[in-house]
Amino acid sequence: MISHGGALGDNGYTVPALNELRKIYDEIYLYGRKQAVIALEGTGLIDRFIVKPEEFGKGTLEQQRDWLVNAVSDVDFHAKINFNDVIPGRYMFHQGDPKFDLPVEWKRENVRGVSFFDAMSERVEETKEAIGKRPVTQLTHAERSWLRDFRHIYNIPKGAFLLGWQFTGSARIKWYPFFNEVIQQGIMSKYPQVYVIGLGDVDNKIQWDAKYHGGRFINLGRSVSFRQAYILTGIFDCLVSPETGLMVFAQCFAHVPKILLATHSYGYHFSFPETVIIQSEAKCSPCYKIVYDCEHEGDNPWSLCMGNIAPERVVEAIEKVIKEERLEVD
């Protein structure tokens, strides 16, 4: 039985460890939030999810314990593993944590060289074999068929360059405001072979003001599940994303170049060598704070850290990948 209350990306950090546990145990149960189901459903790593009722936010620990004991009364567990508080409280800090307001210099030094995947795998002896490994996932026959037919379904030419763009994560600090400048003006008007696949929730119409080129922008938004979104990254020619759960799970695919827009961390804690990290130039970045929103510059609706990633830097990183594919310029 595993206990872990993390969100999508936090559950992604556990995948190398879970792959090791899968070799040892016949059944693995996970007690956590609904985000764990969204993140790990379909992976074959969890046999049964025990979802913590939302009203437990107001309940006592004793009430939660009694509910859980009753929920698993039919199971005799051989081992119990707690994956809580491996990253939050040690390397990333929620408001209210005593370390939340410590100087950024301390927080940066505290996490220097740490892999969030390895931190999870170091938790118990059974999973230490996973240290240094990236997450991997097995595809079903239906998933392989969907990926094989994806270009046909959306009328994408065989030789087109697929550029994935993840719009948002769980917070405003994970929304990049200069999508139009990068994609419409910097990439799509210049490279006619590029098709852009939009993923993630979109909560600001600024991103949709432009007219896109000949149907080469395909917004999947909420029309695909989280699982579908991240296995889809496996057929991309490049993925651009803020620090999101999708980017964490996309590390399953070593062959796909990735561009990470890093704000509240240095990014290397959950990425591998094929991921190019574009760090915000804001003085406060990275802060290692887990927040929904943060400081703004003037009346800008976007966070200061995201506003300090210049579009030209993102265009340059994408163009470097494109040029390696020798695409023709329009």
pLDDT in tens, 114-164: 999 999 999 999 999 999 999 999 999 999 999 999 999 999 999 999 999
Helix (H) or strand (E) holding 241: strand 238-242
**In angstroms, what CA-CA distances link 163 with 149, 246, 315?**
17, 14, 12
Q: What percent of the chain has pLDDT over 70?
A: 94
Going from N- to C-terminal start, the domains of the chain cover 2-130, 142-287+294-324
Residue 207: per-residue pLDDT: 53
Residue 262: per-residue pLDDT: 97
For domain 142-287+294-324, give the fold. Rossmann fold (3.40.50)
Please name the residues in contact with 46: beta carbons below 8 A apart, sequence gap of 6 or more.
18, 28, 29, 30, 36, 40
pLDDT in tens, 175-222: 899 998 999 888 998 999 999 999 987 655 445 544 567 789 888 877
pLDDT in tens, 276-307: 999 999 999 999 999 988 889 889 888 999 99
* Fold match flag (2-130 vs 142-287+294-324): yes
Rg (C-alpha) for the chain, rounded Å, is 21
Answer yes or no: CATH 3.40.50 is held by domain 2-130.
yes
pLDDT in tens, 24-70: 999 999 999 899 999 999 999 999 999 977 776 667 888 888 888 88
Residues in the chain: 330
More confidently predicted of 211 and 99: 99
